[in-house]
Amino acid sequence: MRTHGNWITRAETAADVPAIREIDLAAFETPLEADLVDALRADSSWIDGLSVVSASGEGDGRGQGDGGGRLVGHALLTRCHIGDTPALCLAPVAVLPAYQKTGAGSAAIRAALRAAQDMGERYVTVLGHPAYYPRFGFTRASAHGIGLSIEVPDEAMMALALDEAHPLPSGTVRYAAPFGI
């Protein structure tokens, strides 16, 4: 368990699953992301330790698992491939609406990326808001010859090399089956 500012981050536990679903349901307009997380847990793309939650530092009686305060954020990394090269996909990232713009999501993302790096992972992709993800080191994927098999705004597809000694490979991103891409 690591503390980031006012946030405690840690890998999810089985006891956290209901709270993570609640976070996803509250953060998105439809249940698609919550259902995606559930499907990914049952998929071979799941990597234990790369589903990270952020919790408030104070216990408020509503927390799950062993993390102290209430769970308010979640970031998930699962296996994908860039061409034939193993990589990770960051998705979804969710924060309870009342806690958005407080750093809870950033803390979960940073902890997930650090956990991936500690496991020897080298590359991460994200399809997301181009003004948000560059703060974590993500850059436009197309600049590295990385693309998708579907049309998305070029600036929304980003990638990150976790180890500068291993530059990003080029190729088409292949997501885990639950993504439907």
Q: Residue 61 region, left (φ>0) first, then alpha (ψ -120 to 50), else beta?
A: left
pLDDT in tens, 3-18: 445 899 999 999 999 9
3-state helix, strand, coil in the chain (%, to 5): 30, 30, 40
Radius of gyration of the chain (CA): 16
> Rounded to a whole number, what is the distance in angstroms from the first to the last CA of the chain?
34
User: Which pLDDT tens digit goes with each residue over 82-117?
Assistant: 999 999 999 999 999 999 999 999 999 999 999 999
Q: What is the pTM of this model?
A: 0.91
The pLDDT tens digits along the chain (181 residues) read 444 458 999 999 999 999 999 999 999 999 999 999 999 999 999 999 999 999 987 554 344 444 458 999 999 999 999 999 999 999 999 999 999 999 999 999 999 999 999 999 999 999 999 999 999 999 999 999 999 999 999 999 999 999 989 999 999 999 999 999 8
Hey, what are 155's tokens?
């600036």
Rounded to whole angstroms, how far apart are CA atoms 58 and 70?
8
3-state secondary structure of 55: strand
Which residue, chain included where needed, has tokens 């530059």? 167
